Amino acid sequence: MKRHDVTIVGGGCVGLSTAKHLSEQTDLDVAILEKEHHLAEHQSGRNSGVLHPGFNYPPDSKKARFATEGTRRMKQYCADHDVPCEEFGVLVVAKTDREEAHLDVLASQAEANGVEYERLDSQAEIREREPHAVGQAAFFAPEAASVDSQQYIYALAREVQRNGVSLYTGHAVEKIRSTSSGYHLATSNSDIDTTYLVNAAGLHADTLAQQVGVGDGYQVVPFRGEYYEVTPERAELCQTMIYPTPDPELPFLGVHYTRRTDGKVIVGPNAVLAFGREAYRNTNVNLSELKDILAYDGFRKLLQSKTMLSVAWSELNKSYRKEKFTEAAQRLVPGVRADDLHKSYAGIRAQLVSDDGELVKDPLAIETDDAVHVLNAVSPGLTSSLPFGEYVAGKIIEMDEPSS
Ligand SMILES: Cc1cc2nc3c(=O)[nH]c(=O)nc-3n(C[C@H](O)[C@H](O)[C@H](O)COP(=O)(O)OP(=O)(O)OC[C@H]3O[C@@H](n4cnc5c(N)ncnc54)[C@H](O)[C@@H]3O)c2cc1C
């Protein structure tokens, strides 16, 4: 039986970043268990790939700090490790007076969080940046960038392996049991004993945590985000990245345009309840997981809110009816036509919901004496991954310090 000082379950950006910081800052023997045979199969490789400097988040919040610092550190990381990353900047467009008023909130958050920005007060100014975008005002954050998230994950994996971390792919953790000296992990491959545990299992983190009595009171609810690609002949419709003004009540940023580092322009994601934690197509159903979601009190309470019900209905429509998705895309760029959009990939967000029916909006990592369970690596989790992983590694380092 193999034994490691620290075992990290999940080889996404959070698990890999935690391993990177542990391997740089300690002599601990670190392993990562990843259930898939390839990396970046889930959230860390199926996202918009946008680095969001912290203008969307309240000052002094963990999210603001991680996003602002994460954007700068990740750009440097990409430059040092040949990961494609383009500093396009992001344009947030307001279409109504209410949205325009919210741009003031974004501006004051940007100032408080030390994020550069520019206000555009007319359609003419918007057109100078994005000739096809339409709105009455906009907010431009030049530090936002587009990154190849899959190449980032592989760069991290190569780096941690060079630092001596053992990366076991094809090892799905099935059962975790506490022992007198840590944990015993039964996997789909060999079993592993470990002194410290980091649970960074994304869509499955709550299930694993609950096996050792952590995180009762929460459940991951999977929300699928689907993308369309703008046909290459019409990719000039978006030069950089165009976002709607976010609704502060919702954790998701809304259907937006992203120019990727390979030149493709993608539009999305919507946010529709997935009928299974890995149900990437709207025809995929995992009956037992769906039953668990529908039976969850927190989910039922969430749906009691009229706003949530109407959002759920509108998002569902965008998933099953292309014309509804196109309408959302046309709100920002009226010139886009249904024929310009072709179905592309989808990602599934591991959105934590509490028993009282709240969508948990902040990152959440629960510590015990010998483990850290990352229950909510909420968006912008990719942007935040370097400081967030360092934070989780710091918790393990504190646990390992001899008590005085
Ligand atoms: C549609 C979408 C768009 C997004 N856009 C952005 C964006 O533009 N910018 C941004 O900053 N963030 C974005 N995010 C958020 C970001 O992608 C996530 O916050 C981040 O990737 C979470 O990383 P993670 O390591 O926690 O999870 P994951 O990447 O899901 O990694 C968890 C890993 O654990 C493994 N695993 C699970 N169960 C087990 C088990 N039992 N045993 C072993 N391994 C297991 C999984 O296979 C997986 O590889 C987006 C997310 C989605 C879904």
3-state helix/strand/coil string of 247-262: CCCCCCCCCEEEECCC
CB atoms within 10 A of CB 85: 22
pLDDT at 308: 82
- Exposed, middle or buried: residue 76 (CB in 10 Å: 0-12, 13-18, 19+)? exposed
Query: What total of structural domains would you count in the chain?
Result: 2
What is the domain-level CATH number for residue 202? 3.50.50.60
CA atoms of 147 and 204, how far apart (whole Å): 25
CA atoms of 320 and 345, how far apart (whole Å): 15
Domain membership flag for residue 27: yes
Residues 191 and 318 in one domain: no
pLDDT at 56: 92
Residues 172 and 201 in one domain: yes
| Alpha helices, H only, 203-359 | 205-211, 287-295, 297-304, 306-320, 322-332
Domain membership flag for residue 54: no
Asked, as a colleague might, if the bond just before 269 is cis with ω within 30 of 0, I would say yes
Residues 372 and 350 in one domain: no
With tokens 């680095």, the residue in question is: 51
Ligand 1 contacts CB of residue 202 (under 6 A): yes
CA atoms of 83 and 104, how far apart (whole Å): 34
Domain membership flag for residue 294: yes
Collapsed DSSP state (helix, strand, coil) of residue 343: strand
Domain membership flag for residue 74: no
Range of the domain at 9: 1-49+148-217+362-404
Domain membership flag for residue 378: yes
1: CA distance to ligand 1 center in Å?
29
Joined together, the tokens standing for residue 25 give 């800052």
Ligand 1 contacts CB of residue 135 (under 6 A): no
120: CA distance to ligand 1 center in Å?
34
Domain membership flag for residue 107: no
Query: What are the Cα distances from residue 232, in Å, to 235, 237, 238, 337, 345?
Result: 5, 10, 11, 13, 16
Long-range contacts of 254-259 (CB under 8 A, 24+ apart): 254/328, 255/318, 255/325, 255/328, 255/329, 255/331, 255/332, 256/48, 256/332, 257/230, 257/329, 257/332, 257/333, 258/48, 258/49, 258/50, 258/146, 259/86, 259/88, 259/146, 259/235
Residues 40 and 188 in one domain: yes
Identify the CA nearest to 104 among candidates 243, 238, 248: 248
Whether the CB-CB separation of 145 and 261 falls below 8 Å is answered with no
Ligand 1 pocket test, candidate residues 348, 382, 383, 384, most atoms within 8 A of CB: 382
Collapsed DSSP state (helix, strand, coil) of residue 214: coil
CB atoms within 10 A of CB 305: 13
Residues 227 and 298 in one domain: yes
Residues 327 and 396 in one domain: no
Residues 341 and 393 in one domain: no
202: CA distance to ligand 1 center in Å?
5
Whether the CB-CB separation of 219 and 299 falls below 8 Å is answered with yes
Domain membership flag for residue 380: yes
Residues of the chain with pLDDT under 50: none
Contacts of 108 (CB under 8 A, 6+ apart): none
Residue nearest (by alpha carbon) to ligand 1 atom 37: 201
Of 354, 376, 396, which one is at a domain's C-terminal end? Answer: 354
Atom of ligand 1 nearest to the CA of 384: 11
Residues 390 and 311 in one domain: no
Residue nearest (by alpha carbon) to ligand 1 atom 25: 12
Atom of ligand 1 nearest to the CA of 227: 1
Residues 207 and 332 in one domain: no
pLDDT at 34: 98
pLDDT at 370: 98
DSSP 296: -
Residues 303 and 384 in one domain: no
pLDDT at 251: 63
Atom of ligand 1 nearest to the CA of 383: 11
Domain membership flag for residue 192: yes
Ligand 1 pocket test, candidate residues 16, 37, 39, 43, most atoms within 8 A of CB: 43
98: CA distance to ligand 1 center in Å?
33
Strand duo 145-147 + 85-86: pairing: antiparallel
Asked, as a colleague might, if the bond just before 244 is cis with ω within 30 of 0, I would say no
Residues 294 and 158 in one domain: no
Residues 272 and 160 in one domain: no
